[in-house]
């Protein structure tokens, strides 16, 4: 597998400029319309890429599984988007954002990509403001900022607690404009079920129309996947119900490398699980940690009384509260990065000091902020989040502290890409959460929106054009969907669906999904170890076999069938989960969100092993009955030195 990252020459700060000006080839405006680009996914990365490429003149087809491109899951991001604007005069710079992101990612991301991300972050804000995104403002009319975890400057731009929604709708509006102009053909309620390679290049996809079940072939000159993350492998996560790994996993099976699948982010501030009927977990924005203080009772006895409802949280005296983040990490306090905050919550609960009926919860308390600033200011800042919490739990957070617990939220791993966001399959580009490149082993808050838009607006439009130019104008539109590669891929998709429909066992796809989720959470969740991962690698194939023997998919193939949709996604998760566990087992160190219990310092911090594991773990599919093969992309740092992350 060729893992040449194609990082341009020159000093870090000049690489992207130089690359754009010297290396990337251009396509003449009159020729662009002859090329057909497929974009799968309509979130921040996909929507922005489709709109920008269409605006440049390419013919674009965009696909999403939802009923409208406006519903992609980027919409659910709450807190904000980072940009190194230094509008607050607190000493921010591109370098600082770059450094914070590398450090936040625990030195497991690629330096050049991260620098570029920080470099274009300012343009993103300019672009989104021009599109009419109503960011929060000061009274004088300038943009407002707030702070987020893992940084000591205020560089986060926000639109109430709905920043993701507003940015996504901005991108959706640009996409809609291009649809209206006929430059983008939009296919809603279509799910990509396979990638088609012609002579080793990505030249099309196979989709299922989710309304009438029709299997269709789409030929193109290049394919861009912006299909999000794989957090739903855990069944319970903060992802939308439909989020899935299928498109990325199908690309993996066609030869694309899957990088760092074990890197998953467990977000510290989610609403605790209520019981067995739960279908998803809800995030409470990290921005709440600007004013909320996190604590657990100091003693098990007190925690026990809270759990039984004998005392109220407010009854616990100040001295009996353990503000553990402030205690352990005084310089970052409640704004310690996500992986660290999550583990600290787990530690308190493992110690028997957890609250909520299950014992799996800690407090996020606004009492002091309300006393200091007044209820109105808090309502202005977080009103919609407080309302959301109230609706879900029935508790009023203005009066009683919120209860929170970590939950699966984001996946840093993804398809391997080079500096151009091109995978090892020529012509297959991957953007947003679906790729692996920028967040290393842990993503900082307010950086996912930044990365999605950076990829979609400021990277892919240049690098996709470069690929097309390298292919030459004679190749434009030369691939027809009559090619035998499409025949083969379509037949494969049809056979798989027929097989799912024919089993007619006794257990629903949802039930299998739930069982897989338990295995993943127990053995590949917040803490992992050798024995547990080995056990999961045994259990998952058994569950998979059971699935293919006993799944029951009701309904017809040729019509809208949500059971069939879920069955296909769960089938891929059942293979993908095993890959994650293999990666977690291979990575015999702790780093960022990947915490191996064997590797921790005496005070419970993650212990990296830079001598042996400073690489990207990239897996190659070898065949259905064979173990995947590991390849390594060594991570070399020119600018930053490895240090132990400290937020103390």
Q: Residues with catalytic annotation? A: 338
283 belongs to the binding site for another protein (CB under 8 A)? yes
From 92-100, 275-283, 327-335, 362-370, span contacting another protein (CB under 8 A)? 275-283
Q: Which of 17, 22, 25, 274 binds another protein (CB under 8 A)?
A: 274
Q: Which residue has the tokens 């006895």?
A: 301
**Token representation of residue 564:** 């069939």
Q: Does 341 bind another protein (CB under 8 A)?
A: no
Task: Record the tokens describing residue 602, joined without a space.
Answer: 């005496």
Report how far residue 355's alpha carbon sits from residue 586's, in angstroms, rounded to the nearest whole number: 35
| Contact assessment for residue 639 and residue 111, using Cβ atoms and an 8 Å cutoff | yes
Minimum Å gap between C-beta 495 and another protein is: 23
Q: Is the dihedral of CA 439, 440, 444, 445 positive or negative?
A: positive
Smallest separation, CB 21 to another protein (Å): 14
- 207 - beta bridge partners? 192, 216
Cα angle at 433 between 171 and 35, to 5 degrees?
60
388, 404, 412, 591: which one binds another protein (CB under 8 A): 388
DSSP characters over 288-323: GGGT-EEEEESSHHHHHHHHHTSS-GGGS-GGGEE-
Residue 330 or 505 having the CB closest to another protein? 505
Q: How far apart are CA 166 and CA 133, in angstroms?
A: 6
Nearer CB in complex with another protein: 55/620: 55
Interacting residues with another protein between 416 and 445 (CB under 8 A): none
Q: Distance (Å, rounded) from C-alpha 407 to C-alpha 231?
A: 10
Stretch that binds another protein, among 226-234, 273-281, 289-297, 609-617 (CB under 8 A): 273-281
> Interaction with another protein in 554-583: which residues (CB under 8 A)?
554-555, 559-560, 562-563
Closer CB to another protein, 219 or 501, in the complex = 501
- Nearest approach, Cβ of residue 562 and another protein (Å): 6
| Contact code string over 500-519 relative to another protein, x by CB under 8 A | --------x-xx--------
Beta strands in 183-273 (DSSP E): 184-187, 190-198, 201-209, 215-219, 222-225, 258-259, 264-270
457 touches another protein by CB under 8 A: yes
Show the binding pattern over residues 391-410: x = contacts another protein (CB under 8 A), - = does not. xx-x----------------
Q: In the complex, what is the shortest distance from the CB of residue 602 to another protein, in angstroms, rounded to a whole number?
A: 39
Among positions 169-198, residues that touch another protein (CB under 8 A) are 169, 172-174, 176-177, 179-180, 186, 188
- Tell me the C-alpha distance between 300 and 352, whole Å: 6
In angstroms, give the least distance from the CB of 281 to another protein: 9
Residue partners of 11: CB distance under 8 A and separation at least 6: none
| Residues in contact with 233: Cβ distance below 8 Å, sequence separation at least 6, in sequence order | 245, 516, 517, 520, 573, 576, 577, 580
* Of 131-139, 346-354, 477-485, 621-629: span binding another protein (CB under 8 A): 131-139
Q: Which helix (H) or strand (E) holds 59?
A: strand 59-63
Q: Which is nearer to another protein, 262 or 404 (CB)?
A: 404
Out of 166, 260, 264, 341, name the contact with another protein by CB under 8 A: 166
> How much helix, strand and coil, in percent to the nearest 5, is found in the chain?
45, 15, 40
- Contact predicate 500/568, CB 8 Å: yes
Quick one: CA dihedral 384, 385, 388, 394, positive or negative? Answer: negative
In whole angstroms, give the CA distance from residue 164 to residue 561. 29
Asked if 344 and 364 count as a contact pair (C-beta separation under 8 A), the reply is no
Is residue 275 a contact point for another protein (CB under 8 A)? yes
For another protein, the closer of residues 97 and 344 by Cβ is: 97
What element of type H or E holds 524?
A: helix 509-524
Q: Could you tell me how many residues make up the chain?
A: 648
Residue whose CB is less far from another protein, 469 or 560 = 560
**Among the candidate windows 8-16, 22-30, 46-54, 248-256, which touches another protein by CB under 8 A?**
46-54
From the list 121-129, 303-311, 413-421, 491-499, the region that binds another protein by CB under 8 A is 121-129
Q: Given candidates 126, 368, 395, 588, which one binds another protein under the rule CB under 8 A?
A: 126
| Nearer of residues 262 and 356 to another protein, judged by Cβ | 356
End-to-end CA distance of the chain: 41
Distance of CA 109 to the CA centre of its chain: 15
Q: Which helix (H) or strand (E) holds 113?
A: helix 111-130
309 lines the binding site for another protein (CB under 8 A): no
Minimum CB–partner distance for residue 396 and another protein (Å): 14
Strands 321-322, 293-297: pairing is antiparallel
Pick one of 134, 200, 330, 374: the residue that binds another protein (CB under 8 A): 134
User: What is the nearest approach in angstroms of another protein to the Cβ of residue 364?
Assistant: 17
Size of the site for another protein (CB under 8 A): 82
Q: CB of residue 240 vs another protein: minimum separation in angstroms?
A: 4
Q: How far is the CB of 299 from another protein (least distance, A)?
A: 28
* Interface mask toward another protein for 206-245; x: CB under 8 A: -----x--------------------------x-xxx---
The correct pick among 24, 129, 469, 543 for binding another protein (CB under 8 A) is 129
Q: Map residues 61-80 to x or -, x wherever contact with another protein holds by CB under 8 A.
A: -----xxxxxx-x-xx----
Q: Among 58, 458, 512, 547, indicate the residue that binds another protein (CB under 8 A).
A: 458
> Dihedral (C-alpha) 156, 161, 164, 166: value to the nearest 10 degrees?
-100
């Amino acid at each position: 597998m060729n893992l040449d990252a194609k990082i341009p020459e020159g000093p870090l700060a000049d690489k992207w400029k130089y690359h754009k000006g010297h290396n990337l080839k251009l396509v003449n405006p009159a020729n662009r319309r002859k090329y057909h680009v497929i974009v799968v996914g309509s979130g921040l990365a996909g929507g922005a890429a489709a709109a920008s490429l269409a605006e440049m003149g390419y013919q674009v087809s965009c696909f999403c599984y939802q009923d409208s491109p406006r519903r992609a899951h980027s919409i659910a991001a709450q807190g904000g988007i980072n940009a190194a604007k230094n509008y607050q005069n607190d000493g921010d710079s591109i370098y600082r954002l770059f450094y914070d992101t590398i450090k936040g990612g625990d030195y497991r991301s690629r330096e050049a990509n991260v620098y570029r991300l920080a470099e274009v972050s300012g343009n993103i804000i300019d672009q989104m403001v021009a599109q009419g995104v109503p960011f929060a403002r000061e009274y004088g009319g300038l943009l407002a900022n707030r702070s987020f975890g893992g940084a000591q400057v205020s560089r986060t731009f926000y639109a109430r607690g709905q920043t993701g929604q507003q940015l996504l709708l901005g991108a959706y509006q640009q996409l809609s404009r291009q649809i209206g102009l006929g430059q983008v053909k939009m296919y809603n309620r279509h799910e990509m079920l396979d990638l088609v390679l012609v002579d080793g290049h990505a030249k099309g996809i196979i989709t299922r129309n989710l309304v009438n079940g029709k299997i269709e072939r789409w030929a193109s000159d290049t394919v861009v996947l912006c299909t999000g993350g794989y957090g739903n492998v855990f069944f319970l996560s903060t992802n939308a119900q439909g989020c899935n790994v299928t498109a990325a996993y199908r690309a993996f099976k066609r030869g694309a490398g899957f990088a760092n699948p074990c890197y998953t982010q467990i977000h510290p501030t989610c609403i605790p699980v209520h019981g067995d009927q739960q279908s998803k977990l809800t995030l409470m924005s990290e921005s709440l940690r600007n004013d909320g203080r996190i604590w657990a009772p100091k003693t098990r006895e007190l925690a026990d009384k809270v759990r039984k409802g004998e005392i109220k949280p407010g009854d616990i005296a100040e001295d009996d509260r353990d503000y553990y983040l402030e205690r352990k990490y005084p310089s970052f306090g409640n704004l310690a990065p996500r992986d660290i905050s999550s583990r600290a919550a787990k530690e308190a609960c493992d110690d028997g000091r957890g609250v909520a009926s299950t014992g799996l919860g800690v407090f996020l308390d606004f009492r002091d902020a309300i006393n200091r600033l007044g209820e109105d200011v808090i309502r202005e800042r977080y009103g919609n989040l407080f309302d959301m919490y109230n609706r879900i739990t029935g508790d009023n957070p203005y009066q009683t502290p919120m209860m929170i617990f970590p939950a699966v939220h984001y996946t840093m791993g993804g398809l391997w890409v080079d500096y151009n966001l091109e995978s090892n399959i020529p012509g297959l580009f991957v953007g947003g959460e679906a790729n692996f490149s920028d967040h290393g082993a842990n993503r900082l808050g307010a950086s996912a929106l930044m990365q999605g838009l950076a990829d979609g607006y400021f990277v892919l439009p240049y690098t996709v054009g470069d690929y097309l130019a390298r292919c030459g104008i004679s190749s434009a539109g030369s691939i027809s969907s009559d090619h035998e590669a499409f025949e083969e891929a379509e037949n494969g998709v049809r056979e798989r669906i027929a097989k799912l429909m024919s089993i007619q066992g006794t257990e629903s796809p949802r039930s299998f999904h739930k069982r897989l989720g338990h295995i993943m959470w127990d053995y590949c969740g917040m803490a992992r170890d050798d024995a547990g991962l080995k056990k999961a690698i045994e259990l998952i194939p058994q569950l998979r076999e059971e699935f293919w023997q006993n799944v029951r998919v009701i309904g017809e193939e040729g019509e809208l069938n949500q059971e069939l949709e879920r069955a296909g996604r769960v089938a891929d998760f059942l293979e993908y989960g095993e890959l994650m566990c293999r990666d977690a087992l291979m990575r015999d160190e702790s780093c960022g969100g990947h915490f191996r219990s064997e590797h921790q310092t005496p005070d419970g911090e993650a212990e990296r092993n830079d001598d042996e594991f400073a690489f990207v773990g990239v897996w190659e599919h070898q065949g259905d009955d064979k173990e995947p093969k590991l390849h390594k992309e060594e991570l070399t740092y020119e600018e930053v030195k490895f240090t132990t992350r400290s937020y103390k």
